[in-house]
Amino acid sequence: MSFLRVREEKSTFAQKVCVGRVGKLMRQTAMIGPGARVGVAVSGGVDSFVLLNVLRLRQRIVPFRFDLLALHVNPGFDPASHAPLADWCAGKGLALHAETTDHGPRAHSPENRKASACFYCAMLRRTRLFQLCEAYGLTHLAMGHNADDLAATFFMNVFQTGRVQGLSPREPFFQGRLVMIRPILTVEKDHIKRAARQWGLPIWSNPCPSAGATRRSDFEDWLKEMYARDKRYRANVFGALTRWQVPEGPADGAPRAAGREPDHSGEA
Check whether 149 is labelled as a binding-site residue.
Answer: yes
Instruction: Identify the bridge partners of residue 95 per DSSP, sorted by sequence position.
Output: 69
Torsion of CA 16, 96, 3, 255, to 10 degrees: 60
Check whether 41 is labelled as a binding-site residue.
Answer: yes
Check whether 78 is labelled as a binding-site residue.
Answer: no
Torsions phi, psi for 74 (to 5 deg) = -70, 125
Three-class secondary structure assignment of 173-192: ECCCCEEEECCCCCCCHHHH
Dist CA 130 CA 141 (whole Å): 8
Mapped onto helix, strand or coil, the DSSP state of residue 42 is coil
Check whether 22 is labelled as a binding-site residue.
Answer: no
Q: 220 with 150: CB under 8 angstroms?
A: no
Nearest to 72 by CA among 102, 106, 96: 96
Torsions phi, psi for 170 (to 5 deg) = -150, 115
Check whether 263 is labelled as a binding-site residue.
Answer: no
Q: 184 with 146: CB under 8 angstroms?
A: yes
Check whether 168 is labelled as a binding-site residue.
Answer: no
Q: 254 with 36: CB under 8 angstroms?
A: no
Dist CA 227 CA 147 (whole Å): 14
Dist CA 109 CA 242 (whole Å): 38
Check whether 246 is labelled as a binding-site residue.
Answer: no
User: Which residue ranges make up the annotated binding site?
Assistant: 41-43, 47, 73, 144, 149
Give the residue ranges of the annotated binding site for ATP. Answer: 41-43, 47, 73, 144, 149
